[in-house]
Amino acid sequence: MSHLCLTGLLLAGDFDPVGDCVSLQLCTRDERVYSITDGTQNQGLEAYLRQTVHIIGELLIVDGKPQIMVISVKLQPDLQD
């Protein structure tokens, strides 16, 4: 596992049959997409949906795709070009 810090937009990744969000993704400025897992800390990441956040976490590779296990999350002001 690798420790990292990322800033990006937190979006819904997948939905269950009734339309509830069941996974989250972090989309960074360089157009990388990371699946997000809350680990066992239950930080209520859904509260940050569609907002720019700064995430500190551990990088995992699951089925060949990057996934972040969140250690901490905080709101970040919108990034300006």
Residues with Cβ within 8 Å of residue 5, at least 6 apart in sequence: 54, 55, 56
pLDDT tens, position by position, for the chain (81 residues)? 678 999 999 998 888 899 888 889 999 999 999 999 876 555 688 889 999 999 999 998 889 888 999 988 898 876 554
**Alpha-carbon distance 43 to 66, whole Å?**
20
How many folded domains does the chain comprise? 1
Specify the CATH number for the domain of residue 40: 2.40.50.140
- The whole-model pTM stands at 0.79
Residue 42: predicted pLDDT: 53
Domain assignment of residue 51, yes or no: yes
Domain assignment of residue 29, yes or no: yes
Domain assignment of residue 46, yes or no: yes
Domain assignment of residue 81, yes or no: no
Q: Which domain holds residue 69?
A: 2-75
In the block, which residue shows the tokens 């972090």?
Answer: 26
